Amino acid sequence: MKTSRQERSTTFSEELDLHYLELLKAKTPYQQCKRELLMLEKRWLQKAKTTSQHLAVQRIIASTILTEAYGERMPWKEFGRWLRRIQQLGFRDLGMRVHVACLYVQSLHFFPRKAREAWDMLEDVERSVRRLRRENPLREEHMEAIAHAKKVARVPRPPPR
């Protein structure tokens, strides 16, 4: 006998993916999307039993909202808020660091005064990626993401001081 999606317990990642896809399909405005994601976070924080679970929920929600802020071309006040939040929480893994640094560099045309910080972040994460073994498939994937961000960035790297 099959159980319906609602009857079985879902993981946080499953629920986030399903809910976020629904928001995207409905073309939900940024502010409403953010509210919905924060309500989901609140619900899952109540279920979290450990500090690491608590932190994981916060990191994933902050990263998702940052991605949405990037996609909706939010100004620094909003984009920066979520960037700082992720930095305060700490990055879950190298993939998240790559993702955030790439979004930051690619969004600089909205806040060019942040160019040095964004490019420094991208270069720092690139050094970390280069330290991965060449056989590691994530190394190539991350390097491609970094190369793409550099290619499409509208604000060039500021000259050294």
| Total-model pTM | 0.90
The number of domains in the chain is 2
Asked if residues 118 and 104 have their Cβ atoms less than 8 Å apart, the reply is yes
Asked if residues 122 and 149 have their Cβ atoms less than 8 Å apart, the reply is yes
Asked if residues 126 and 80 have their Cβ atoms less than 8 Å apart, the reply is no
Residues (pLDDT < 50) of the chain are: 1-8
Are 107 and 122 contained in the same domain?
yes
Residue 77 has a pLDDT of 97
Are 131 and 144 contained in the same domain?
yes
DSSP state of 73: T
Are 41 and 76 contained in the same domain?
yes
Beta carbons within 10 angstroms of residue 135's beta carbon: 7
For residue 110, give the nearest of 135, 79, 134 by alpha carbon: 79
Residues 6+ apart with CB under 8 A from 37: 16, 19, 20, 23, 61, 64, 65, 68
Residue 126 has a pLDDT of 98
Residue 7 domain flag = no
Expressed in angstroms, the distance from the first to the final Cα of the chain is 67
Asked if residues 73 and 103 have their Cβ atoms less than 8 Å apart, the reply is no
Residue 19 domain flag = yes
Are 101 and 149 contained in the same domain?
yes
Joined together, the tokens standing for residue 19 give 């809910």
Residue that terminates a domain, selected from 69, 92, 115: 92
Work out whether the CA dihedral 76, 77, 79, 85 comes out positive or negative.
positive
Residue that terminates a domain, selected from 65, 92, 119: 92
Are 37 and 83 contained in the same domain?
yes
How far apart are the C-alpha atoms of 118 and 128, rounded to whole Å? Answer: 16
Structural domain range at position 48: 12-92
Residue 107 domain flag = yes
User: For 20-31, what is each residue's pLDDT tens digit?
Assistant: 999 999 999 999
Residue 104 has a pLDDT of 98
For residue 72, give the nearest of 124, 33, 113 by alpha carbon: 33
How far apart are the C-alpha atoms of 126 and 106, rounded to whole Å? Answer: 15
